[in-house]
Structure 1
Amino acid sequence: MKNQSPIIEVAELFTISENPNLRIFDGRTGPNAKEEYLKKHLENSVFVDLNSDLAEIDNPKNGGRHPLPKFEDFIKTLGSLGIDKDSHVVIYDDKNGANAAARFWWMLRAVGQTNVQVLNGGLQFAENQNYPLSSGEDSYPETDYISGHQDWQLPQIWMDDVKLATQDSGSVIVDVRESQRYDGITELIDLIAGHIPNAKNFPFIDNLDDDGLFKSPELLKNLYSELFENYDQNKITFHCGSGVTACHSLLALDYAGFDIPNLYVGSWSEWSRNEV
C-alpha cells in the first residue's frame, strides 16, 4: 500500500496542530541556523542539526561531506528528539524543503517511519500564511525509539557501484546540483568543479514552481517519466554535492508516485576527492 503523501500543505498543518502525536522539526542550515531558529520558528517546532543529528562528519574523502550516521546512533537521536513509531512527523526548512528537511524525511522513511511529511513552501510560506511562530527553544519528551530494523531500508549505492554505473549504458546517474556546478563553471563548496562521468543533470530546483512550491504530482510524473524512460528502476541513482539536496528529488519522486530510487550519499564531495 502506498504511504500517505510525503508533502503536507500549511493549511493541513493548521488542521492537525493540536494532535498530541504531532512532532514538528525545523531543519534549516547555515552557520547561524540555530541562532535564527531561536529568534523565530514555527510554534512547537524543534531544531534538528544537519551536521550533528543527520550526519556523522569525518573525512569527506570517505563518504563525502555529510555521510549518514550509524544506524543505531540515529535511532538514539530519534528518541532524544521525542519521536516514536506513532508520531506524525512534519519537517520544514528555509530552503523549500531542499536541504535538511528532505534529508531528515529520507532518513526517517529509511528507518521505517511512515507518517512523515515535508511542509510545502517551508518556513517562509508558512509565515506568509500566518502560521503561529514562537522563539526560544522547544522540545518534546524523550522516547525509546524502536525501529524494528537493523539497517537503512531505502536503496543506496556506494562509490564502487557508481564507478560501474558510469560504464553501464543501462544505468542512469542523476546529478541534482545547479547546472553551473554540474558543468564545472563554478564550485563554491567542494574542491573541484565538474560532474561524475555520464551523469545527467536534473537540478532539484526544477521540482518547484515559480512560487517555491512543489509542482503537482502529475507534472513531476511527466518530467521524470521522460528522464527514466528505458531505464530499470534498480539502475537509477540520484546524487548531489553531499547527499542532502538529492533527497529533495527523491521526495519529489515519491510525491509523484514513483518508487524511491538509489541514493549515493557520498555524492560529488566524495567522488571528486577520489576519482578526478
Structure 2
Amino acid sequence: MFQTLISGGALHALQAGTAPAVLLDCRFQLADPDYGTRAYAAGHLPGAHYLHLDHDLSGAKTGCNGRHPLPELATLAARLAALGVGDGRQVVAYDDAGGMFAARAWWLLRLMGHAEVAVLDGGVSTWLAAGGELDTAVPAAQGAVFSRRAPLEGTVSCAEVLANLAAPAFMVVDARGADRFAGQNETIDPVAGHIPGARNHPFMQNLAADGRFKATETLAAEWRQLFAGVPAEAAVHQCGSGVTACHNLLALAHAGLPGGRLYPGSWSEWCSDPARPVEAG
C-alpha cells in the first residue's frame, strides 16, 4: 500500500499487476482553468479519470469562504465511487506541476478516511521516463462502494486561527511564495500580506531540481529547522486557497512528520474580511 508518494517505476509495476490502482488526473493551471481538461484529452495515463480542481476538488464559493473551499464530501465520495474508488483500493493522483494539485486530491481522500492514496512523484514525466505511455481513451465508470471513515487529516476554522492570535496554541505555516507572503507581487488576492505570526515555507521547497520530492531525511531536516522545536502536529498549514498547503502536508507525511492540520479557507478567506489583521514583510 502506498500512502504518500509512488515512483514512476513502482506505478508501472502496480498497473501491470492483478490489482491496479485507480488513477486520478489532477492537472490544472490557475491562470487557465480549462488547461487540465485539454491536457487530459490530449493524452493521460491509461485508465485515468480526470478530476477538476474547481468542479470536483472544491465547493461553492460565497465570496467569504476562499477561492477553493472544500467540496461537499458526500458529493465527492459519490463521484469517487462512480470512478471505481472502493474501500481498500489503491488510488494514485498525479499532475504535471510537481504534485501541486494532486496533493489536494490526496488530502481530500485522507480527510474521508481513505488511507490507500498516493501522489505520483514527478507526475506525468516520471511515468513516461519509466516506460509508460499516454492514452486518449476515456475509461468507463466502474462503480464501487466507497465508505467514508474517520478522518485521517484535520482542519481548523478561520475563527480558530483568529483566536490563536491572542492565545497561541499552534504555529501557522504559509505555503505561498516568499514574495506574496511578504506582501509583494500579489496578483491573485485583493489584499497583500500574511496572517500575523505565520511562518513561510513555500511548497516548491519540498521539491528537488528534477521536480520530484526531496529525500525524506532532507525534508525532515528542513522542516524541523522551520518548526524550531514545535511538534509537527502543532502546525496549521495554509496557502492562498487551501490547495498548495496540502503539498506541505504531503511532504511532512512522507518525511515522517504527520499530524499537521489544514486551514482550508487560507489567505483568500482570511483577507476577505477587512477586520482581520494583516502583516507584511
Percent identity (aligned): 34
Work out the CA distance in 2 between the residues paired with 1:94 and 1:251. Answer: 16
1:65 equivalent in structure 2: 67
Residues 22-64 of structure 1, C-alpha deviations (whole Å, 9 max, x = no match): 2111001132211111011111111111112111122241x21
2:9 equivalent in structure 1: 11
1:236 equivalent in structure 2: 235
Work out the CA distance in 2 between the residues paired with 1:24 and 1:234. Answer: 29
> Which one-letter code corresponds to 2:86 in the other structure?
D
Q: Output aligned runs, 1:135-174, within 5 Å.
A: 135-149=136-150, 152-174=151-173
SS at match of 2:23: strand
CA deviation after TM superposition for structure 1 residue 229, in Å: 2.7
Name stretches of at least 5 consecutive residues in structure 1 with no aligned partner: none
Aligned: 1:37 with 2:40: yes
SS at match of 1:135: coil
Contact 2:3 2:116 in 1 (8 A): no
Work out the CA distance in 1 between the residues paired with 2:63 and 2:124. Answer: 30
2:78 equivalent in structure 1: 76
Work out the CA distance in 2 between the residues paired with 1:210 and 1:106. Answer: 24
Aligned: 1:265 with 2:254: no
Work out the CA distance in 1 between the residues paired with 2:62 and 2:125. Answer: 34
SS at match of 2:91: strand
CA deviation after TM superposition for structure 1 residue 137, in Å: 2.1
Contact 1:170 1:232 in 2 (8 A): no
1:51 equivalent in structure 2: 54
Relative to structure 1, the CA distance from residue 133 to residue 29 in structure 2 (aligned partners, 3 Å threshold; closer, same or farther) is: same
1:90 equivalent in structure 2: 92
Indicate the larger mover: 139-148 or 202-211. Answer: 139-148
CA deviation after TM superposition for structure 1 residue 160, in Å: 0.9
Contact 2:157 2:263 in 1 (8 A): yes
Name stretches of at least 5 consecutive residues in structure 2 with no aligned partner: none
1:118 equivalent in structure 2: 119
CA deviation after TM superposition for structure 1 residue 192, in Å: 1.4
Work out the CA distance in 2 between the residues paired with 1:128 and 1:166. Answer: 47
SS at match of 1:197: coil
Relative to structure 1, the CA distance from residue 163 to residue 91 in structure 2 (aligned partners, 3 Å threshold; closer, same or farther) is: same
> Which one-letter code corresponds to 2:14 in the other structure?
I
Work out the CA distance in 1 between the residues paired with 2:103 and 2:160. Answer: 24
Residues 125-177 of structure 1, C-alpha deviations (whole Å, 9 max, x = no match): 3234331111142344022322244xx44111011111122334553110010
CA deviation after TM superposition for structure 1 residue 20, in Å: 3.5
Work out the CA distance in 2 between the residues paired with 1:84 and 1:92. Answer: 19
Q: Output aligned runs, 1:182-201, within 5 Å.
A: 182-201=181-200
Contact 1:60 1:269 in 2 (8 A): no
SS at match of 1:53: coil
> Which one-letter code corresponds to 2:211 in the other structure?
G
1:215 equivalent in structure 2: 214
CA deviation after TM superposition for structure 1 residue 230, in Å: 3.0
Contact 1:240 1:268 in 2 (8 A): yes
Work out the CA distance in 1 between the residues paired with 2:179 and 2:248. Answer: 18
CA deviation after TM superposition for structure 1 residue 217, in Å: 0.8
Contact 2:26 2:50 in 1 (8 A): yes
Contact 1:102 1:248 in 2 (8 A): yes
Q: TM-score, normalised by structure 1?
A: 0.92
Contact 2:114 2:149 in 1 (8 A): no
> Which one-letter code corresponds to 2:57 in the other structure?
L
Indicate the larger mover: 129-138 or 265-274. Answer: 129-138
Relative to structure 1, the CA distance from residue 153 to residue 116 in structure 2 (aligned partners, 3 Å threshold; closer, same or farther) is: closer
Relative to structure 1, the CA distance from residue 48 to residue 139 in structure 2 (aligned partners, 3 Å threshold; closer, same or farther) is: farther
Q: TM-score, normalised by structure 2?
A: 0.90
CA deviation after TM superposition for structure 1 residue 189, in Å: 1.5
CA deviation after TM superposition for structure 1 residue 4, in Å: 4.4
